[in-house]
Amino acid sequence: MNTVTLTKCLCFLSAGIMLCGLQAPIQAVDRKSEIDFEKHVQPILRQHCFRCHGESHEKGGFRLSRKEAAFGTGDSEEALIIPGNAAESLLITRVQDADAGDLMPLDGEPLAEKEIQILKTWINQGANWPDSAAVATHWAYEPIVRPDIPEAEDQSWVKTPVDAFVLTQIQESGFEPAPELDRARWLRRVSLALIGLPPT
């Protein structure tokens, strides 16, 4: 890999990282349309609410990343979401009515009117929150578990536990590992891969 190719790869990688950080725009919906929680509601909660009411924080006793908590009562002992009744749901009051207290979110721009309308329509339609949409099941919130080291067929090739995983994947793909390089060729390949230049 030469310097030009390496530069191109880094540019593509940077562009990919930037695109991954972009969020899809919130789509406006008709009041008569069926609101899909995962498509319409969850992106709003994730964008505006999770910083203070997500897995890491539970301000006011509310956690909007979990279904059972979102339908409960927080420190105010008022129901956050009342299915079928958006007007009485504290969630709508706190994102819409500045006279009822601090307008949420405290650390960001107020929700757009179309976002509030989506939340209201969703609640009035019954606030359907499928169990499959539980944010808490995301891999990022699972406890770290040390995996079992696979039993590789060729133990002579395995020098570290990582090698066992690599060899297993290679063989499951129907291949065999390439023979080990002599040190001079190994150094040349590593140098070309890392800096794009042969070793001195």
**Span 43-86, pLDDT tens digits:** 999 899 888 888 777 888 888 888 888 888 888 888 899 999 99
> Are residues 160 and 112 both part of a single domain?
no
Instruction: Tell me, yes or no, whether 8 lies in a domain.
Output: no
Residues 59 and 93 in one domain: yes
Do both 33 and 66 map to the same domain?
yes
Residues 129 and 172 both lie in one domain? no
Same domain, 187 and 127: no
Backbone angles phi, psi at 156, to 5 degrees: -70, -25
Domain membership flag for residue 62: yes
Q: What is the CA radius of gyration of the chain?
A: 26
Q: What is the predicted pLDDT for the residue at 33?
A: 77
Q: Which domain holds residue 191?
A: 146-200
pLDDT of residue 32: 65
Using one digit for the tens of pLDDT, what is the confidence trace for 90-123? 999 989 877 767 788 888 888 999 999 999 999 9
Q: pTM surpassing 0.75?
A: no
Q: Is there a domain that residue 17 lies in?
A: no
Give whole-number Cα distances, 29 to 38, 71, 82, 117, 177, in Å. Answer: 14, 23, 21, 8, 54
* CA 147 vs CA 74, 76, 164: distances in Å: 38, 43, 12
Shared-domain flag, residues 33 and 125: yes
Q: Where are the strands (E) in the chain, listed by range? A: none
- Domain presence at residue 161: yes
Structural domains of the chain, count: 2
Q: How far is 156 from 175, CA to CA, in rounded Å?
A: 17
